[in-house]
Structure 1
């Protein structure tokens, strides 16, 4: 069978493409990073340089595929709305059009639990929880719009499933843990508000497992959305301290109240928008929320309907990440 993985040069997309290839499938991966694309090609994966907003290229690459895994997106806490819209909304609509045109068996869409959060405490959030009236950033806004497009496609007969994986980490991660490590190395890490900040993080290969389960899940799972985590609520600062200890480095904290941090972030965002021509500020309101508010998800639905069960624990995952990080 022929598989298409969008975002194939991204963290999750690479892992998925390699797993599918190792399972014996014929895999095509799209993405923007030509360097990583060459690595994919060296491992027997067809790579197509294809920005998601390029409708004609997207339609062409969808042809003759059996399954499409749509993990491609612009993921960042900061940036221009137009860029997020083009990648996340237009890109998804193009994938939907290609899926409909060529009659794929299933479109498996990767969304985000960022749509749940709005600067507050939320624990054990279920998939149909009330969403905020305004989303935290352009990324969350446009990913929700992409979900709406997916829902419309399902209503018109397209077989789709959506997963919402939380905070991916593991070897190859260039976002969550690496950013925290670099902050700790440069100076003190802000410790905002309470010290008991519970979060979900998810080992990347567990997310790949969830995506593969979506290929052959029961018919009643079509059109559904599923939270995906490691199902281990954990203190954010314990994770950071665990990682830094394994790297033989000390974590220094700078305590700051939530009100002060949020106000500072709001000021910095305003300066960035008005004076710095949109340059990402060193602190955003979203980052303040992530570092200070407990945010956890329920994955009961994924366990019951998909048969999902995380195989690699957070502790095992951190070990694998640190071993990889040390040789970079």
Structure 2
């Protein structure tokens, strides 16, 4: 079996490629000519040069492939212009699915995000039935992922088999762009003076990769499946990170109104061109508990997270250290 992975040089795409190779698959990655190859340098994969925004490059990339894993997306949304987020995450998905339909690809797994489910009511957990409930301007990344899912369901109605997966916050090795693991790095540098009052669900990237294959094999077309791990408060997550990287954990937790006020200030600063290490959307969301219920993926896919968050942090930290030392020596 041959799989095409879009975004194959990125954090999730590279880990998915490694997992599939370990399962005996032939893997082809779609990448731009300028894509950094650090995350896949140890992997035996085929390379197809192209871009999700260039439809003419997608059909040659898919020829000979049985399935497509569409992991390519703009994830560093706080560093990226809004127009680019919408084009890549929405129109890029449309282009991939159109090419897959044209070439009669057997099945596509679309990597969405827990962000596409919005924000739960206080005291509740996100499930796959939760509708996206935020305006586009509040959280553009989540909106773009929800719209990509809506496009996928149109293709499903037209006969293309698309299964949607919604990973939570992913940690682990091969995070070449330092996106999900930025908190680990900032904690290690002791640049986190205080913590937000909310919480997140955190999962090991290897579990998410395995969940993609389970979704391919067992998922129902048009359905979404949460690929989650552990529901943690930011304080609990920070304490685990601090233990792994060997620094004191921040003791101060900000009140929700303070965090939301900082988010408003960050939005103003961003609007006048000030570069910030964290975005307004991230700050606003960090005042909420974005926790989830993974029972649907367990029941239908047989997916259960196997790697504890503490171990995911350790693997990520070791990879950052090894990679940074290699970059310094080059």
Is the TM value for this pair above 0.5? yes
Which 5+ residue runs of structure 1 have no aligned equivalent?
A: none
Secondary structure class of the residue paired with 1:94: helix
Change (3 A) 1:167 1:155: same
TM-score by length of 1: 0.88
Question: Which position in structure 1 is the counterpart of 2:227?
Answer: 228
Change (3 A) 1:25 1:16: same
Secondary structure class of the residue paired with 1:152: helix
In 2, the alpha carbon distance for the partners of 1:211 and 1:134 equals 29
Cα deviation digits, residues 271-295 of structure 1 (max 9, x gap): 322x21xx54344332223433211
Which 5+ residue runs of structure 2 have no aligned equivalent?
A: 324-330
1:261 and 2:259 matched: yes
1:300 and 2:302 matched: no
Question: Which position in structure 2 is the counterpart of 1:161?
Answer: 163
In 1, the alpha carbon distance for the partners of 2:123 and 2:82 equals 26
1:82 and 2:80 matched: no
Secondary structure class of the residue paired with 1:190: coil
In 1, the alpha carbon distance for the partners of 2:278 and 2:39 equals 34
Contact 2:156 2:162 in 1 (8 A): yes
Contact 1:59 1:94 in 2 (8 A): no
Question: Which position in structure 2 is the counterpart of 1:212?
Answer: 213
In 1, the alpha carbon distance for the partners of 2:38 and 2:315 equals 25
Question: Which position in structure 2 is the counterpart of 1:43?
Answer: 43
In 2, the alpha carbon distance for the partners of 1:140 and 1:85 equals 10
Question: Which position in structure 2 is the counterpart of 1:238?
Answer: 236
Number of aligned residues: 319
Question: Which position in structure 2 is the counterpart of 1:177?
Answer: 181
- What is the Cα-based RMSD across aligned positions, in Å? 2.4
Cα deviation digits, residues 278-328 of structure 1 (max 9, x gap): x54344332223433211111111111111111212233233333334434
Cα deviation digits, residues 156-206 of structure 1 (max 9, x gap): 0101100000000012232223334325625343333x4xx4421010010
In 1, the alpha carbon distance for the partners of 2:142 and 2:64 equals 32
Range that drifts further, 241-250 or 148-157: 241-250
Cα deviation digits, residues 85-140 of structure 1 (max 9, x gap): 22111111111111111111100000011123359646321111132151432211
1:315 and 2:313 matched: no
In 2, the alpha carbon distance for the partners of 1:133 and 1:127 equals 16
Change (3 A) 1:177 1:43: closer
Select 1:248's aligned residue among 239, 246, 249. Answer: 246
The runs of at least 4 consecutive aligned structure 1 residues that moved more than 6 Å come to: none
Range that drifts further, 37-46 or 221-230: 37-46
Contact 1:189 1:251 in 2 (8 A): no
